[in-house]
Structure 1
Amino acid sequence: MAKKNPAKWFISWAYIIFTVLSAYNHYFSLLQAVLIAFTGLFLISKNRFWNYAWLNLRAILLFLPHLSISLHQLSLGGLNWLPKPNYEFFVSYFQFIFHFSEWALALFLMLFVYSVIQYFRFKPNINRKWILISFFWFMIPLLFGFYYSVYKKPILQYSVLIFSFPFFLLFVLSFMPNWNKTKSLIVVIIIMMINTTTLIFKREYYSFFYNQGYDAIAKRQIALIDSLKKPVTLLIDGYEPFFLNYYAVKYHHPIPCALYSYDGFNEKNWELYIANLKTNYIACSHVGVTNLNFLDIVQKYYPYFVKKSSGFAYEWYVFSNKNTSKKLYKYEKEINFTQYESLCKKNNGYRLSNQQEYGPLIEINFKELPLCRHDIIHIRLDIDSLKNEGTLVCELKNQNDSLLLWKGASSKQFLNQNEKTSIFLTIRMTDIKNYSYYSTLRTYFWNQNKVNALLKRISIKIESGNPYIYAIFNDF
């Protein structure tokens, strides 16, 4: 083949190499390569069929060394940290594509509708086969990822669809009329201007993407150490020592760290760990997702707020046991249960008998709260004389009294010292959908084992949240 036609030889080996590279790169690019290769079997002419099949066989042979690794990884099923998608994923994915911008979406719809009208009006000489192929090359990976995630284990993310996304563009642009170069250039410039503008200003790309968690935490920790001139205990969830060492070298500054991961901790041993720290300042941070109850437990022993920084996929808090004038919360309400019943004696609290299943209900309408979309609600219940399990419950209900969220925190999760327990429950409003100005927050103690207990006080606090916590994937 090489002697007869060097150009064909080059194209053949380029096809093999790039097919194999796609297979090694990512399983979704492997899926895309298989789709394209399989489609080719039905498009190739009969006299070239066996040559084409031989090219694909060579690509398969070159992938065989990785097969055992692939089979092992596939046996794991999926990614445990990913949630299962629902049908809203399809809407949110297209919102993501268009930067959550009405302008970008409107431009796309105008062009698409116009091109489809022109297509059926003038019936240009366009092979419909390629329109359908580009549509299926885009849709099959999307649908496969979705249903595998629903019925097996979650694997679907926006990022894995990057390999099929170009075929969505090919499908849309297939209907476009045959404009001259000037018209085409004008349309391309308009599309680029609108999408660049929405990316920079609507999505604030350069504000959060270049403020990554690992780097941001390192820089802020260095600045804190230099400003305080005192030791600061740094606790990070989701960090790796390698990364911190890298930034220590990069910024020519040591960054002492006591803990790199909260894995292995539950609320009980976390509280014991925090209670035994010998420091005046503690920096509590995380990259990715963390247990927000841990933050409240830290504040039980280090109640004074020093500073905070947050951005895409990270948050960094500094607390102290030395009094400061700064405040973390924009709303604080503490309720002593003495106002609820005559059973409360000498302002000791609400005495819950072994005949009562529920404590007093605290109900607050959202319109009474300075609550924004990304805020965090912190609820704390202090309880005495509890000899069995009970649960602090929070419910969010809409104006029709339908349940939006039910969340409970068991007393068994938390440290019981001399029958005294502080139960913490936190809610990140970014994770809650479909609530409104007329929604209601309800919280109460569920005494499911009907034991005697003394409810001392309950506090509800609202922290200004982090709009960028899921910034790559969600609107903010």
Structure 2
Amino acid sequence: MRRSSQTIVNNLPGRQFMMLTLVIVVSGLILRLLHLDFSYSNDELSALSRVRFNSFSDLVSKGFFVDGHPGGIQVFLFYWVKLVGMNEWAVRLPFALAGAMGIWITIRLFTRWFGQAAGLFSGAFVAFLAFPLLYSQIARPYGIGMTFCMIMAWYWTKLLFDEKPGIHHAFAYALSAAACMYTHYFSFLLALIMGISGLFLLNKDRVYHYTGAGALAALLFIPHIPITLNHLSIGGVGLWLAKPVWSWPLLHIASVFNNSVIIAGLVVLIIIIQVRYLKPEPDTSVFRVLSLLFFLLPMITGFFYSRWINPVLQDSVLIFSFPFLLGFLFSFSASIPKRLVIIMTSVLIIVGTSQTVFIHKYYSRQHFGEFRGVAQAICTWNQKYGMDNITRAVSVNNPWYLEFYMKQENSCEATFSQYDNRGGEDLTVLKKVLEKAETPFFAYAWTKPVPPEIRDMILARFPCIVEAFNFSGLSEATLFSQQNQSSCRNATIKTIFYSSFQSENPGSGSFPEFYPGYEGTLYELSYDYSNQLVAAVEARTQEHLSGALLVASFHDDDGETLLWTASKFDLFTAADSISTIRLTIPAQGKDLSNKKMKIYVWNPRKTELEIRSLTIFTEPFPEYSGTAANQTRK
């Protein structure tokens, strides 16, 4: 099969086509350079923490041999940060530039495959969609890997379909394929799929060029094979990433189009226009099938591998094949009149960019867990209230992630009583930290999901929230105090039920399994879902570990349990002393107003308990507030 670059075009004058291409690429570049100095993400800090070595051998053995990604980007960062330092803007600049270059290559490739309209439309979507924009703004393999994949596809096309492919095309294809292999295992997968596909399209006059290029790419990857074998033995993201649900592919496609009706409308409008002007174009059929194949096969492979073997599928890993979805969708556009192509390209740039920036609010969204803002909050509190007056705990994947930003805050330093909390024994450790805390303030921050019990455990001992910064639910920093004052951020607590109890000691071994509490509905308590629902009991336990639980449950009319949640007394109580046990009840987002609710104490071991009171109240949800939060992507 042969086709020249002039076979299918929309016949736009060269100057107009180049002008539209320039506008798209420059628009995409500007979007990628804006607000490039936002707080590093967890993945970026993980990568940067693994380039702080003096030798290349240490980088290999400690920097990416133990990681789950190929070493290409890690090697680049190793040398790049030595040159420019670790400033966010400087570190991310080459990734943003590579992302803009990917727009240009996308336009060239799909113009070659399907005509000018397909190239311009595809490039415009890559330029303004939040999905490729975000992953071109972080110093990770995804955006730059997409560009490598498009370069590989360009030289793959020239090697297979040019009338006279040169040896320089074979070398360029081999190098770009090797770059994909060294960047990410999903870009490696696409290189493999593309390479195998080429064997079925290969003509005899270029067997040596093509197989030689493939052999050279494989040869270039040989030094990395022992590292890859070690990566395959590591659980990687499968240790924490859940298996994808069956609807995941559809959810992914919706997300890459900004979950936007407007963006979907633009796609549908182009499809309608394509149908209106559709003419048979047999030369495009092979490329249309290839586009669909290159987009679907990585998704299908990742999906079933994640379902059956080890979860690895995330939105980010499919960015390498994403442009081929666009190429397929717009592959029927070769016959659209050139005037309409100009109009639609202009509409895409204006409407698409406006949707991403102003409606999707890309630059004011919190895309990743916040580290700079958390560090700023901790340093501000140390300065305002005194470092020795605050006990601090944090949940972070690596203490260096916070230390990196704390050193930027006038060389701020702080010690933490706990650096991570994954539940279980970590909660017991936190309990001991709280019991030993003699300071008037307690600061807790997290940059990754933490057990919900933590907030209740702290509030039971430090009931006043002095200041709180919540970064769109992706990270949080809160300063608690023992003094319950009207100035507390949670001072607007509203009690909706209270009952005191006078328990008689019935004698050793005869304590009840269940203690009376509240039985009714949320509607009867006038709970309006605008605040958190909390239950608390005051209790005295004779033993240090009683095994008792404060339980909240909801049931339908048939007695089926709709929600069951509990707090363990053992996380709150000390032997032979009065303690407060809190339970935040996750009622929001559920239709539970008229369902039967029970709140009670369950004492399965029938150990000695004295329940003094039960209170049900509401308190404000954690709020996005304060100067630290405002210094994120705004």
| Class of the TM-score when normalised by the shorter of the 2 chains | 0.7 to 0.9
- Contact in 1 for aligned 2:167/2:209 (Cα 8 Å): no
- Contact in 1 for aligned 2:464/2:481 (Cα 8 Å): yes
Q: CA deviation at 1:53?
A: 2.2
Rounded to whole Å, the distance in 2 between the matches of 1:439 and 1:21 is: 59
Bigger mean CA offset, 295-304 vs 455-464: 455-464
- Contact in 2 for aligned 1:377/1:463 (Cα 8 Å): no
Select which of 201, 220, 232 maps to 2:377.
220
Residues 211 and 76 of structure 1: CA distance in aligned 2, closer, same or farther (over 3 Å): closer
Rounded to whole Å, the distance in 2 between the matches of 1:397 and 1:90 is: 34
- Contact in 2 for aligned 1:218/1:255 (Cα 8 Å): no
SS in 2 for 1:254: coil
Rounded to whole Å, the distance in 2 between the matches of 1:184 and 1:437 is: 53
Residues 135 and 57 of structure 1: CA distance in aligned 2, closer, same or farther (over 3 Å): same
Aligned to 1:168: 325
Rounded to whole Å, the distance in 2 between the matches of 1:424 and 1:218 is: 28
- Superimposed CA distance per residue, residues 378-417 of structure 1 (whole angstroms, 9 cap, x where no aligned partner): 5444444476534444446689987654444444555542
- Correspondence 1:283 to 2:443: yes
Q: CA deviation at 1:167?
A: 0.9
Q: CA deviation at 1:37?
A: 0.8
- Superimposed CA distance per residue, residues 57-108 of structure 1 (whole angstroms, 9 cap, x where no aligned partner): 2212221222222222222344222222212323332332122222222222
Letter in 2 for 1:295: R
- Contact in 2 for aligned 1:208/1:311 (Cα 8 Å): no
Aligned to 1:327: 489
- Contact in 2 for aligned 1:271/1:415 (Cα 8 Å): no
- Contact in 2 for aligned 1:237/1:285 (Cα 8 Å): yes
Rounded to whole Å, the distance in 2 between the matches of 1:399 and 1:253 is: 60
Rounded to whole Å, the distance in 2 between the matches of 1:226 and 1:355 is: 50
- Correspondence 1:310 to 2:460: no
- Superimposed CA distance per residue, residues 183-238 of structure 1 (whole angstroms, 9 cap, x where no aligned partner): 22321222232332222233322223489611111222333334445643332211
Letter in 1 for 2:477: W
Rounded to whole Å, the distance in 2 between the matches of 1:400 and 1:135 is: 50
Aligned to 1:297: 457
**Runs of 5+ consecutive residues of structure 1 not aligned to the other structure:** 339-343, 469-476
Q: CA deviation at 1:446?
A: 4.0
Aligned to 2:138: none
- Correspondence 1:127 to 2:287: no
Aligned to 1:206: 363
Aligned to 1:345: 502
Select which of 431, 438, 447 maps to 1:271.
431
Residues 428 and 256 of structure 1: CA distance in aligned 2, closer, same or farther (over 3 Å): farther
Rounded to whole Å, the distance in 2 between the matches of 1:400 and 1:112 is: 50
Q: CA deviation at 1:273?
A: 0.7
Q: CA deviation at 1:289?
A: 1.1
Rounded to whole Å, the distance in 2 between the matches of 1:353 and 1:123 is: 86
Select which of 80, 84, 87 maps to 2:246.
87
Bigger mean CA offset, 397-406 vs 159-168: 397-406
Rounded to whole Å, the distance in 2 between the matches of 1:439 and 1:94 is: 38
Bigger mean CA offset, 290-299 vs 390-399: 390-399
Q: Which has the higher strand share?
A: 1
Letter in 2 for 1:283: A
Q: Which has the higher helix share?
A: 2
Q: CA deviation at 1:259?
A: 4.2
- Superimposed CA distance per residue, residues 286-325 of structure 1 (whole angstroms, 9 cap, x where no aligned partner): 1021123122212222211111111152111111123432
- What percent of counterpart residues are identical? 22
SS in 2 for 1:272: helix
Letter in 1 for 2:360: R
**Runs of 5+ consecutive residues of structure 2 not aligned to the other structure:** 1-162, 626-634
SS in 2 for 1:284: strand
- Contact in 2 for aligned 1:376/1:463 (Cα 8 Å): yes
TM-score normalised per structure 1:
0.80
SS in 1 for 2:371: helix
Rounded to whole Å, the distance in 2 between the matches of 1:197 and 1:363 is: 50
Rounded to whole Å, the distance in 2 between the matches of 1:327 and 1:463 is: 8
- Correspondence 1:139 to 2:296: yes
Letter in 2 for 1:88: S
Rounded to whole Å, the distance in 1 between the matches of 2:564 and 2:276 is: 49
Q: CA deviation at 1:437?
A: 7.5
- Correspondence 1:25 to 2:183: yes
- Contact in 2 for aligned 1:337/1:455 (Cα 8 Å): no
Rounded to whole Å, the distance in 2 between the matches of 1:187 and 1:397 is: 55
SS in 2 for 1:250: coil
SS in 2 for 1:174: coil
Rounded to whole Å, the distance in 2 between the matches of 1:228 and 1:419 is: 30
Rounded to whole Å, the distance in 1 between the matches of 2:558 and 2:339 is: 56
- Contact in 2 for aligned 1:398/1:436 (Cα 8 Å): no
Instruction: Give matches, 1:332-411, under 5 Å.
Output: 332-333=494-495, 335-338=497-500, 344-345=501-502, 359-365=516-522, 368-371=526-529, 377-385=533-541, 388-395=546-553, 405-411=563-569
Indicate the RMSD between aligned Cα atoms, in angstroms.
3.7
Instruction: Give matches, 1:7-26, under 5 Å.
Output: 8-26=166-184
Q: CA deviation at 1:15?
A: 1.1
- Contact in 2 for aligned 1:329/1:461 (Cα 8 Å): no
